[in-house]
Amino acid sequence: MRRKAVIPPGQELISREQLRVRVEELARQITLDYRDKRLVMIGVLKGAFIFTADLCRALDLECEIDFIRVRSYGTARQSAGTIQFTKGPELDLNGKDVLLVEDIVDTGITMAWMRDYFRSGPAATVRICALIDKTERRQVPVEVDYAGFQLDQGFLVGYGLDCAERYRHLPAIHSLEEKEAEGLTPNSTT
Ligand code: IMP
Ligand code: MG
């Protein structure tokens, strides 16, 4: 049976190889910083599912893994500010060192909300790791402790990132054409 070809959208911005190299660099730093800590990586679904899987496998460290999912109302391209969990953390975080693993910090609204939630809980420390730190539209100050790539603009898909649920499976990161991103239906989850 003939399979339908996947035609990657837009321009390839970050290749599979660049992602692999950068994830290993981040993992080396995290391994050093958390050597004497009790690391719990909390991946933010769905966008960070591939990043979290690759990052945890590159660590030379024992760690626990959990996932959360939040709903942030907005459009396919931008979050709005009303945030709630659709899946909360399941592990006991008491005294643990939480590392939030997110795909993109854009306006910062989603990450600031998650950071404040975990900082007001029983975890000993809470830090942030984001594959992409997008500074152009930042509205709320968020300090990203481990940033994979800093980008100013553009809407990105692939390696877990979607536009209205499309393109998450692509192994590289692509920038989506403006007209294609605008034409897609609204998205309410990250
Ligand atoms: P923020 O609250 O504006 O920082 O929204 C961050 C969330 O918006 C991320 O977790 C992504 O799900 C989504 N997002 C922001 N920019 C992009 C992008 O370029 N591609 C895909 N998703 C994005
Ligand atoms: Mg998304």
Atom of ligand 1 nearest to the CA of 108: 4
Q: How far is the CA of 190 from the centre of ligand 1 (A)?
A: 6
Q: How confident is the model at residue 4, as a pLDDT?
A: 62
Least confident range of 5-14, 104-113, 148-157: 5-14
Q: Which amino acid would we find at residue 39?
A: L
Query: Do 109 and 139 contact (CB within 8 A), yes or no?
Result: yes
Which residue has 């898909």 as its token pair?
157
Instruction: Give 172 Cα–ligand 2 centroid separation in angstroms.
Output: 16
Judged against a pLDDT cut of 70, whether residue 81 lies above it is answered with: no
For residue 2, name the pLDDT band (cuts at 50, 70, 90).
Answer: low
The set of protein residues with a Cβ atom below 6 angstroms from ligand 1 is 47, 72, 79, 102-111, 134, 155-157, 161, 190
Stated pTM of the model: 0.91
Give, in order, the Cα–Cα distances in Å from 44 to each of 51, 69, 75: 10, 6, 18
Sign (positive/negative) of CA torsion 182, 19, 53, 112?
A: negative
Nearest to 38 by CA among 116, 120, 99: 99
Name the H helices within the chain: 16-33, 49-58, 109-119, 178-183
- pLDDT level of residue 177 (50, 70, 90 thresholds): confident
The candidate with the shortest Cα–Cα distance to 165, out of 148, 189, 141, is 189
pLDDT, residue 186, reads 42
Q: How remote is the C-alpha of 30 from its chain's centroid? A: 16
Average pLDDT of the chain to the nearest whole number: 90
Q: Ligand 1 pocket test: which of 77, 85, 104, 109 has the largest number of ligand atoms within 8 Å of its C-beta?
A: 104
Which atom from ligand 1 is nearest to the alpha carbon of 155?
Answer: 19
Token pair for residue 63?
Answer: 């760690």
